[in-house]
């Protein structure tokens, strides 16, 4: 995130304003704290307003017979072991008499194949299957796209 922010400001300073003279890249924890103050709703809204497929006709692997190739994929991530995360996302199954070390979240994404841009995503409790959540991502598949 630190590198992304630095590149963003460097790009702005060239074409817009000479910010670099007065501004220094914040540390990682400052960026994390700022994102936490904003909250998940703001970050989600920003994502859904800005992120779009970006491939052009020249982008290798982006189109097949004029259709934009998009892909659904999913994965799971361990979360910090907190009561709130367990309540919202749950833990994976484990042997009888034991419990998994960490709660897990399931992430299902819609990706433009040629650019690898994630242009829609859903996080859900671990217990909800990937295929069930993938159906909701169809909201972002439009005519002219070939879903893989």
What is the pLDDT at residue 21? 66
What is the pLDDT at residue 111? 97
* Least confident interval from 44-48, 66-70, 138-142: 44-48
Quote the mean pLDDT of the chain. Answer: 89
Per-residue pLDDT for 15 more than 70?
Answer: no
First vs last C-alpha separation in the chain: 30
Beta strands in the chain (DSSP E): 63-64, 67-78, 104-112, 118-125, 145-147
Q: What is the per-residue pLDDT across 63-115, written as a single tens digit (0 to 9) for each?
A: 999 999 999 999 999 999 999 999 999 998 888 888 888 999 999 999 999 99
Contact 107, 77 (CB under 8 A): yes
What is the pLDDT at residue 14? 60
């Amino acid at each position: 995130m630190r590198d992304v922010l630095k590149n963003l400001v460097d790009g702005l300073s060239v074409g817009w304003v000479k910010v670099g003279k007065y501004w220094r890249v914040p540390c990682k924890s400052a960026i994390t704290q700022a994102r936490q103050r904003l909250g998940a709703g703001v970050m989600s809204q920003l994502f859904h307003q800005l992120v779009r497929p970006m491939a052009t006709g020249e982008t290798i692997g982006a189109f097949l017979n004029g259709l934009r190739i998009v892909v659904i994929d999913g994965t799971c991530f361990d979360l910090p072991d907190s009561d709130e995360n367990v309540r919202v996302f749950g833990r994976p199954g484990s042997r009888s008499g034991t419990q998994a070390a960490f709660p897990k979240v399931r992430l299902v994404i819609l990706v433009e194949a040629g650019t690898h841009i994630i242009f829609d995503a859903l996080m859900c409790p671990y217990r909800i299957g990937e295929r069930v959540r993938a159906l909701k991502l169809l909201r972002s598949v439009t005519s002219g796209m070939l879903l893989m």
